Structure 1
Amino acid sequence: MDTPLAIFAGRSNLALARAIAENYGTELGEVTIKSFSDGELYVKYEQSIRGEDIFVIQSTPPPGDNIIELLLLLDAAKRASVKRVTAVIPYFGYARQDRKDQPRVSIASKLMANVLVEAGADRILTMDLHASQIQGFFDIPLDHLYASRIFIDYFSKNPIDNLVVVAPDVGSLKMSRAYSKKLGAGLAFIDKRRPKQNVAEVMNIIGEVSGKNILIVDDLIDTAGTITNAAAALKERGALNVMATCTHPILSGPAYQRIEDSPIDELLVTDTVPLRKPSDKIKVLSVAGIFAEAIERIHTNDTISALFDD
């Protein structure tokens, strides 16, 4: 007899979770999640999951309650005797702290990996980790999806003439090169210095951008300093229209105002993280379909390498 499948979700991104379940052809399972008066969290599965293959969808952006909620859901599932529980984490928080680059700092990504495994995760499904080496922090299988499939499909259907893909920093260069190749576009990148956290300075633009339409490619936008400084510098160098993409629109602090005030004509993002508020400059593309397909392939023990197209 085939192992039953069930999909559950935490509260960080219920809209995406419902869309994933709908794309899969099912509904979210019943789970109660609530907060006590002092803020302590409580979770309970309201249906039997004994012996089932379950998938728990929960992005982990700030605040910390999102990761705690996921850990409690994983722990409750293991204690309910599931056969396997996969943590589906569209946005993996704390991914920017992936190494000990200064004395006396935490490697927060490794800590998150440890606690997820300790809480009971048998497998991780995520998208566009800020640092790919985080995959090596886990001693359980991790499937790493790429939003580039969504963006490249969009631009293939809505082509841009005279296009140059720009990496806003050296860390984004590999991803930008893939976009450039698949879209038949030019490539440039920005030499950036970051004097402190959440502060970016544009130093040099390497590549021809004058008279070109620009597509800036990044995996995450937090305060939007990097992307808006890059757009301004590109305009100063004679760029025409400036578009940008990012997988995870954290958009904290002054991000919205910076984007509104910037020369960016349109910002394409995915729904791995729900927008705090709408913006005429921001367009959301859904990753529900690719996550639903990955869940199907994991459940049936089929290969998902076809989904790793970056």
Structure 2
Amino acid sequence: MSNPNRLNLSAGVFSVCVAVSLVLAKLWALSQTGSLSIAATLADSALDLLMSMGGLAAIAYAAKPADYDHAFGHSSAEDLAALGQSAFIIVSAFAILAAAGVRFMSGSSGAIENEMAGMSVMVLSIVLTVALVSYQAFVSKRTGNRVVAADSLHYIGDLIPAIGAIIALWANRQFGIGYIDNVVAVLAALIMIGGAVKIGKGAWDALMDRAADDDTVASIAGIAGNFAGVHGFHDLKTRKAGSRVFVNLHIELDGKQSLEDAHAIGAALRRKIVEAHPNADVLIHKDPIGVQPHPDDTRHH
């Protein structure tokens, strides 16, 4: 296994270990305090665990070649998992919103106890999260792995609810202002829903073969349009599956050159596109300049 793969796997294992530790610590803190804001961060950490495990599996799959039954790989499993994760987030978030709503309507802030235990766990959560994010940043910079980078961004977003939970617990301990716990829980739940919608939409778009983002398509078009030996291109099609981008492209070449020379140009262009987009799977069809579709070909490219 190459060094980049080892680094990526180590980041994935570290992420899972941190997520497990945080889930266990926050379960204990919730039992000690009864704080809704801690419940919100617990639900988020449970999601982190699922996402980290999915990310680790994706990294492991990325190191495996496609097999006979899955010639294009297994990356769509990432999108199926993401849909399940987004549903889990939304259900958890609405459960937290419902509990907060009941407390608001009843005029009760809930009985929050042993705030110091809860604050200690949240401080531990922040320290572990910062350590993980720092290591993920190091790995993603060295390897360019987008799964590690995306996981890092998600953990960075967890810092806000964690800090909010500390503020809520401190305010309840110092001033007896318990309703802040409900406010923090609502804000954290809304953040969770926003993240779930984004994750779910991305997964749904990929499963529906939506094209890659405009910047990626423009980048590929720019590379092909300015590549030596390529006199034009057409029928640029892209789709995403998990972290992979599949690219189909027709390029126009000098029809008088040898097949070997044409192949060399196409292979070099493919390498250039993959260099700019490491997760791309590129298929290039070569046409002579000015070729017209055959009259019997009723299907578009």
What's the TM-score once normalised by structure 2's chain length? 0.26
Q: Which has the larger radius of gyration?
A: 2
User: By percentage of residues, which structure has more helix?
Assistant: 2
Where relative contact order (Cα < 8 A, 6+ residues apart) is larger, the structure is 2
User: By percentage of residues, which structure has more strand?
Assistant: 1
What's the TM-score once normalised by structure 1's chain length? 0.26
